[in-house]
Amino acid sequence: MLSAARGAFRAGARRCIGARAVATPARTLPVPRLTAAHAARRSFSVSAPVLSQSNTRGVVVQAISSVASQREVQQYLSLFTSVESQKFAVIKVGGAILTDYLDELCQSLAFLYEVGLFPIIVHGAGPQLNKLLEDAGVEPQFEEGIRVTDAKTLAIARQLFLEENLNFTKKLEDYGVNVRPATAGVFYADYLNKDKWGYVGKITKVNTDIIEGAINRGCLPVLTSLAWTADGQLLNVNADVAAAELARALEPLKVVYLSEKGGLFDGDGSKISTINLDEEFDWYMGQEWCKYGTRLKIKETKQLLDTLPRTSSVAIIHPRDLQKELFTDSGAGTLIRRGGKFLTATKVSEFGDLAKIKEAFLRDHTDDPEAKTQMENYFDYLSKDVNFKAYYDEHVRVFAVVLPPKQDGGLAKLATLTMTSGGWLSGVADTIFAAIRKDHKKLVWVVDDNDENISWFQEKADGAVNQNGKVFFFYGVQDMNEVVPAMNQFFKEGNATLYSEGDMAKVEQLSSGVSTSGATRPVSRSQGQQIRSYHTSPRRPTVTQPFRTSRGPAFSRSYVSTTNPNPPLGKKNASNTKQAKVALIGARGYTGQALITLLNSHPHMELKHVSSRELAGKKLEGYNKSEIIYENLSPEDMTDMEESGEIDCWVMALPNGVCAPYVNAIYQGRRGRSDAVNSVIVDLSADYRFDDSWTYGLPELVSRESISQAKRISNPGCYATGAQLAISPLLEHVGGQPWISGVSGYSGAGTKPSRKNDTSFLADNMLPYSLTDHMHEREISRQLGVDVAFVPHVAPWFSGIQLTIGIPLNKTMNSRDIRHIYQDRYAGERLVKIIGEPPFVKDIANKHGVEIGGFQVHSSGKRVVVCATIDNLLKGAATQCLQNMNLALGYAEYDGIPIM
Model confidence pLDDT, tens digit, residues 555-564: 222 223 347 8
Dihedral over Cα of 764, 856, 831, 716: its sign:
negative
> Please, what is the angle between helix 775-784 and helix 718-727, to 10°?
40
27 Rama sector, left if φ>0, alpha if ψ -120 to 50, beta otherwise: beta
Going along 598-696, which residue ranges are E strands?
605-611, 649-652, 680-683, 695-696
| Residue 790 β-bridge partners | 740
User: What sign does the CA torsion over 717, 719, 722, 725 have?
Assistant: negative
pTM: 0.47
Residues whose CB falls within 8 Å of the CB of residue 176, separated by 6 or more in sequence, listed in order? 50, 51, 52, 53, 55, 56, 59, 110, 113, 114
Q: For the domain with range 570-716+881-889, which CATH number is right: 1.20.120.1760, 3.30.70.3280, 3.40.50.720, 3.20.20.70?
A: 3.40.50.720
**Where along the chain do its domains lie?**
58-336, 343-555, 570-716+881-889, 719-873
Give the CA angle between residues 783, 784, 789 to the nearest 5°.
100
Give one DSSP letter per residue of 731-786, joined into a string.
Answer: GGGB-S--EEEEEEEGGGG-SS-SGGG-HHHHTT--EE---SS-HHHHHHHHHHTS
Helix (H) or strand (E) holding 422: helix 421-425
What local confidence, expressed as pLDDT, does residue 217 receive? 86
What phi and psi values does residue 181 have, to the nearest 5 degrees?
Answer: -60, 130
Listed residue (126, 123, 47) closest to 90, CA to CA: 123
Strand partners, 234: 228
649 catalytically annotated: no
According to DSSP, the β-strands at 832-834 and 850-857 are: parallel
Rounded CA separation 264/315 (Å)? 10
pLDDT at 450: 65
Q: pLDDT value at position 581?
A: 97
Here the contacts of 594-598 (C-beta below 8 Å, separation 24 or greater) are 594/873, 594/874, 594/877, 594/878, 594/879, 595/651, 595/653, 595/877, 595/878, 595/881, 595/882, 596/620, 596/622, 596/623, 597/480, 597/622, 597/878, 598/878, 598/879, 598/882, 598/896, 598/897
In single-letter form, the type of residue at position 834 comes to I
Closest alpha carbon to 896 in 530, 491, 540: 491
Written as one letter, the residue type at 358 is K
For position 427, what pLDDT does the model report? 65
Backbone angles phi, psi at 739, to 5 degrees: -115, 145
Buried residues in 553-583 as b, exposed as e (16+ CB within 10 A): eebebebebeebebbbbbbebbeeeeebbbb
| 393 touches 418 (CB < 8 A) | no
CATH number of 343-555: 3.40.630.30
Exactly one of 219, 290, 659, 718 is catalytic; name it.
Answer: 718
Reported CATH class of domain 719-873: alpha beta
Please identify every stretch of the chain with a pLDDT value under 70, giving residue numbers as ranges.
Answer: 1-86, 327-331, 340, 364-369, 421-427, 450-457, 490-562, 674, 676, 751
For residue 206, the Cα-to-chain-centroid distance in whole angstroms is: 38
CATH level 3 topology of 58-336: Carbamate kinase (3.40.1160)
Q: Residue 499 has what pLDDT?
A: 44
Q: CB of 700 within 8 A of CB of 826? A: yes
Q: What is the edge-to-edge ordering of all strands in the sheet holding 234-236?
A: 201-206, 187-191, 226-228, 234-236
Residue 527 CB contacts under 8 Å (≥ 6 apart), including other chains: 421, 518
Dist. CA 878–CA 591, nearest whole Å: 6
DSSP 3-state percent helix, strand, coil across the chain (nearest 5): 40, 20, 40
Separation of CA 850 from chain center = 15
d(CA 335, CA 313): 7
Report which of 59, 60, 54, 65 is spatially closest to residue 563, judged by C-alpha positions. Answer: 65
Cβ(363)–Cβ(532) below 8 Å? no
